[in-house]
Amino acid sequence: MSEDFGAFVPGPRAWLAPSGPGPLDGLTFVVKDLIDVAGTITGGGNPDWHGQQELATASAVVVQRFLQAGAEMVGKTVTDELAFSLEGENEHYGTPVNPRCPDRLPGGSSSGSAVAVAAGLADLGLGTDTGGSVRVPASFCGLYGWRPTHGRVPMAGVMPFAPSFDTVGLFARTPAHLLAGGLTLLQASPAEVRAVRLLLAADAFVLAEPEAQAPLRAAAARLGVAAEVDIYGGRAPEYFEAYTTLQGLDVMRALGAFLDSNPRFGATIAPRFEGARALDPSVEPQWRAWRNELAVRMRALLPPGTLLLLPTTPGVAPARFLRNDHAERFYRAALTLCSMAGLAGLPVVTLPLATLEGCPLGLSVLAGPGEDEALLAFVTSVAAVSPA
């Protein structure tokens, strides 16, 4: 195992000094290779994409905010190709090693940022989360991982993948660092810690692997569940179809010109882009209406002061490497669980509060749209009750 766990983009390590003092003084951070860092190429985890890019003349807004707040950037990190994976594999640049469970996948697509933070190589990690690309590696590597309300954190200088779902998210080992980093990205003040009502999504827990359900439910119980609810209404497969269809059509709009250049992709990635290319755009209005109705329902379910608990992933990280029927089962369950936040644009934090056979299991906490500050405050308040 290398000293850097394979987390960093090959070549000289990118570095930027803080540009001012602030709440992140003394902290270090890493940046996923979908996010611009001045003086470097944003390679997107793919050699042909890399070959078509110029050196970034400015850093993304999110990078600038961290630097201005006193943090030091200590490297760019490996991503799954163009963000189209939840596994953490990269056929071209290597698969980062999960520090908590080295024989298992790190999770993706923000694999390198998660691994760097989990290994103690940085205090904070910037990633992107479209369908779970921060939350899944955070769950697999035993980290706190935050996906913000869609649209609240600027995407300027971030490579688009599926823009109606794309967010910049954050990894941290501690709630205090997650809070400080999150408020810096939001350019917001901390919220007061208030009493909350916790709902448990019973039908989401059924999607977890049988052996994972007990430790996840035990973690939820420690937080204090007020009631159990069903969030899928007996129609869980629709969430997978809605997400994969709308994401795929978004992908084609954002990356279609690049795909037309016949780029090289790894064996597991190429079929995903072909699947996106094969989608019928005429179904988009139907699924957009479906998505809008879901957003209305979730706003009603999650007024300020109410949070929803569900598994982040169906289980612990799968063994390296995931193929065939095992991959299909993992993706269907993982995307069904993770799609709720993306489809409804909700903020969510995955908490490293459970383990199974020595490997981490994440428990997700969703809030209503725009409730990021309150959600981050809740995470800091429960840390003493349920330490990671």
Q: Quote the pLDDT of residue 324.
A: 67
Q: Contact 76/8 with Cβ under 8 angstroms? A: yes
User: What is the rounded distance in angstroms from the CA atom of residue 329 to the CA atom of residue 208?
Assistant: 11
What span, in angstroms and rounded, lies between the C-alpha atoms of 79 and 95? 9
Instruction: Give the type of residue at 359.
Output: C
By annotation, the residues acting in catalysis are 32, 109, 133
The count of residues in the chain is 388
- What's the average pLDDT block by block, 10 residues per block, for the chain (388 residues)? 88 96 98 98 98 98 98 98 96 96 96 98 98 98 98 98 98 98 98 94 97 98 97 97 98 97 95 96 98 98 98 95 79 96 98 97 98 98 69
Instruction: Give dist(CA 155, CA 92) in Å, integer.
Output: 26
- The side-by-side arrangement of strands in the sheet containing 227-229 is 72-77, 28-32, 124-129, 167-172, 144-147, 348-356, 359-366, 306-311, 197-201, 227-229
Please return the burial class of 274, using the count of CB atoms within 10 Å of its CB with bins 0-12, 13-18 and 19+.
exposed
Q: At CA 269, angle to CA 317 and CA 58, rounded to 5?
A: 90
Instruction: Show Cβ contacts of residue 8 under 8 Å, excluding neighbours closer than 6 positions.
Output: 30, 75, 76, 77, 78, 112, 116
Q: CA-CA distance, 344 to 291, in Å (whole number)?
A: 7
Tokens linked to 45: 């985890």
CATH of domain 28-186: 3.90.1300.10
Distance of alpha carbon 350 from alpha carbon 127, whole angstroms: 14
| Structural contact between residues 181 and 209, judged by C-beta atoms closer than 8 angstroms | no
- SS3 per residue for the chain: CCCCCCCECCCCCCCECCCCCCCCCCCEEEEECCECCCCCCCCCCCHHHHHCCCCCCCCCHHHHHHHHCCCEEEEEECCCHHHCCCCCCCCCCCCCCCCCCCCECCCCCCHHHHHHHHCCCCCEEEEEECCCCCHHHHHHHCCEEEECCCCCCCCCCECCCCCCCCEEEEEECCHHHHHHHHHHHHCCCCCCCCCCEEEEEHHHHCCCCHHHHHHHHHHHHHHCCCEEECCCCCCHHHHHHHHHHHHHHHHHHHHHHHHCCCCCCCCCCHHHHHHHHCCCHHHHHHHHHHHHHHHHHHHHHCCCCEEEEEECCCCCCCECCCCHHHHHHHHHHHHHHHHHHHHHCCCEEEEEEEEECCEEEEEEEECCCCCHHHHHHHHHHHCCCCCC
Are the C-beta atoms of 169 and 380 separated by less than 8 Å?
Answer: no
Question: pTM of the prediction?
Answer: 0.97
pLDDT for the residue 323: 73
| Signed CA dihedral, 213, 235, 232, 274: sign only | positive
**Two tokens, residue 12:** 């000289």
